[in-house]
Amino acid sequence: MAISEEALRQIVQSVVANVEKELGGGELQKEPSTPTAKALAPVKMKTVTQVPENTAVVGAQGSDGVFADMRSAVEQAAEAQALFVKEISVSERTRILEAIKKIVTEKKRFLAEQVVEETKLGSVEDKVKKHELVVMKTPGVEDLRTEAVSGDDGLTITEYAPFGVIGSVTPVTNPTTTIINNSLSMLAAGNSVVFNVHPSSKRTCQVLIRYLNKAIIEAGGPANLITMVAEPSMETLEILARHPKVRLLVGTGGPGLVRSLLQSGKKAIGAGAGNPPVIVDETADLANAAKSIILGASFDHNILCIAEKEVFVMEEAADELIYHFLEEGAYMLGKDDLERVMSLVLKEDKRDPGAAAGCTLNPAKKYHVSKEWVGQSAEKILRAIGIEKQGVKLLICETDFDHPFVQLEQMMPVLPLVKTSTFEEAVEKAVFAERGNRHTAVIHSKNVDRMTAFARAIETTIFVKNASSLAGVGFGGEGHTTMSIAGPTGEGVTSARTFTRKRRCVLAEGGFRIIG
């Protein structure tokens, strides 16, 4: 059967139109009733003019992305997302993302200072570097690479389409950088996002959300692509998780949060806790090992979930490793110092006096980390135990394997060292200490067989060899960065593609052939 060129042209146009419709995101919410700017046409802010640097008052209508109630935040985000995929092409999303990066770059120090002031966690200088990292190394629309297969039976395209509205829960440890990283990835994929931030960071997050909305609108995007509720709580989280217009949930935090999201009945991406172990064997470059470990374990006062939390070192390498730690500026806690630090930063768990205590009359004590010391500097901890020492970034101490500093994710610049007699013993203890989080692990060794053996045993999402843990998220290492490392649910180091639905578009041969 012959077919004319005009008929062929019409068929091709029809296929292209259908594919473009599919890329738009499928089921669209109805268009907003209020007038909105055309794609990429600069929009003058009506209710948001200058974002105040020292305040975060909720706008009456929430037109700046901050809403008094969660339902309004979701509804407005749904309207914005429908307009986003309808009027702005995939390639044009880049202008929106660049506008976000520009405002974050301009405000990075202010945001870092505000986060430390509000949360009382971490280091301003390191937070500035984290803001730079998420701007430079969060991938955008280039992450959405379409896959195509052609043959005698036609053409099949696998594309990455948006979910729609995403609900995201952020931690107090990385509040602004998680919002920025999540927003860049989720908007690149064509979604909008509603945040339920940690209450201890709500003021700074409100200011950030206003900045981001202002930048998006001025770049020609719709208002409220990024929203949050002004007063986040467990109740607002419940509303977010149950709202019918929220298609995907993303949580960055502890295991309780991840379990809660998984029980919502919706698809959830969970970035959970970690207790990253480090193995150092006798073949390692011990000077590099010490320098790398200090960099990762001291960065932002150890509140990153990827940071080195405990070291298992072979006995024959231990003394030299400690020497290099001290050369690099670490402070070695003696036995008495360690006991004072423990008394300062650990709290003994209260036990039910009527509960069974096991076979021993003197059961081992159980501890948890005192919140007031999480994310505090090494110098501050030393001062609290009566030691004045300037320039110290990391405290090290030699402990037994069952010490609470080894078994707990303490999130302070206090690093326990455990000596092991064999590599196999180091692996066994490291796997136990990691607690099955499958988050991050580090090894310093020149023995490839040992690297492979540890990687297979620990099965973590990030596995770093002969470098700082920071290399695992692109800080001093190759690859993109993320603030949401989804180990519990298996997505791994998240990016734009993570927040999409795979869709297959098929153009069959159709039972006829084009002749000559």
Q: Are 250 and 396 found together in one domain?
A: no
Instruction: Evaluate whether residue 445 is within a structural domain.
Output: yes
pLDDT of residue 8: 41
What does the alpha-carbon distance between residue 434 and residue 469 come to, in Å, rounded to a whole number?
Answer: 14
For residue 367, the cross-strand partners are 348
- What is the number of other CB atoms lying within 10 angstroms of the CB of residue 262? 17
List, in sequence order, every residue forming a beta bridge with 246; answer none if it has no partner: 165
The answer to whether position 511 is within a domain reads: no
Same domain? 335 vs 224:
no
- Provide the terminal-to-terminal Cα distance of the chain, rounded to the nearest Å: 10
118 and 158 fall within a common domain? yes
pTM: 0.85
Core vs surface per residue 395-431: b (16+ CB within 10 A) or e: bbbbbebebbbbbbbbbbbbbbbbbbeebebbbebbb
List the CATH number of the domain containing 186: 3.40.605.10
Question: Which residues, 6+ apart, have CB-to-CB distance to 273 below 8 Å?
Answer: 253, 254, 255, 305, 409, 437, 439
Please count the CA atoms within 13 angstroms of the CA of 489 that sit on its side-chain side.
27
Residue 457 contacts residue 449 (beta carbons within 8 Å): no
In a domain, 131, yes or no: yes
Give the integer Cα–Cα distance in Å for 403 and 415.
11
Q: Are 123 and 264 contained in the same domain?
A: yes
Q: What is the pLDDT of residue 411?
A: 94
- Containing structural domain, residue 127: 58-272+494-505
Say whether both 81 and 98 belong to one domain.
yes
Q: What is the CATH number of the domain that holds 388?
A: 3.40.309.10
CA 193 to centroid of chain Cα atoms: 15
Residues 80 and 183 in one domain: yes
How far apart are alpha carbons 89 and 185 in whole angstroms? Answer: 16
Among candidate residues 288, 332, 272, the one with its CA nearest the CA of residue 471:
288
Residues 183, 69: one domain? Answer: yes
Task: Label residues 52-79 b or e (16+ Cβ within 10 Å = b).
Answer: eeeebeebeebbbbbbeebeebbbbbbb
How far apart CA 264 and CA 143 sit, in angstroms, is 28
Instruction: Judge if 178 and 282 occupy the same domain.
Output: no
Tell me how crowded residue 4 is: count the other CB atoms within 10 A of its CB: 9
Give residue 224's pLDDT: 97
Pairing of strands 367-369, 346-348: antiparallel
CB 368 within 8 A of CB 346: yes
Give me the sheet containing 246-252, strands edge to edge: 66-67, 226-229, 192-196, 165-169, 246-252, 268-271
In order of 284, 305, 323, 414, 468, the CA distances from 290 in angstroms are 10, 19, 9, 14, 9
| Residue 5 located in a structural domain | no
Both 247 and 159 in a single domain?
yes
Residue 305 inside a domain? The answer is yes
For residues 437 and 274, the answer to whether their CB atoms sit within 8 Å is: yes
Q: How many domains does the chain have?
A: 2
Q: Measure Cα distances from 483 to 40, 218, 472 in Å.
A: 29, 26, 11
- Does residue 161 lie within any of the structural domains? yes
Same domain (yes/no): 266, 281: no
CB 297 within 8 A of CB 396: no
pLDDT in 10s for each residue of the chain, 516 residues: 444 455 444 544 554 444 444 444 433 333 333 333 333 333 333 333 344 444 443 333 556 999 999 999 999 999 999 999 999 999 999 999 999 999 999 999 999 999 999 999 999 999 999 999 999 999 999 999 999 999 988 999 999 999 999 999 999 999 999 999 999 999 999 999 999 999 999 999 999 999 999 999 999 999 999 999 999 999 999 999 999 999 999 998 877 787 888 888 899 999 988 999 999 999 999 999 999 999 999 999 999 999 999 999 999 999 999 999 999 999 999 999 999 999 999 998 865 444 333 333 334 568 899 999 999 999 999 999 999 999 999 999 999 999 999 999 999 999 999 999 999 999 999 999 999 999 999 999 999 999 999 999 999 999 999 999 999 999 999 999 999 999 989 999 999 999 999 999 999 876 555 555
* Cα 121 from Cα 249, distance rounded (Å): 26
Q: What is the pLDDT of residue 257?
A: 81
Any domain includes 33 = no
Three-class SS state of 364: coil
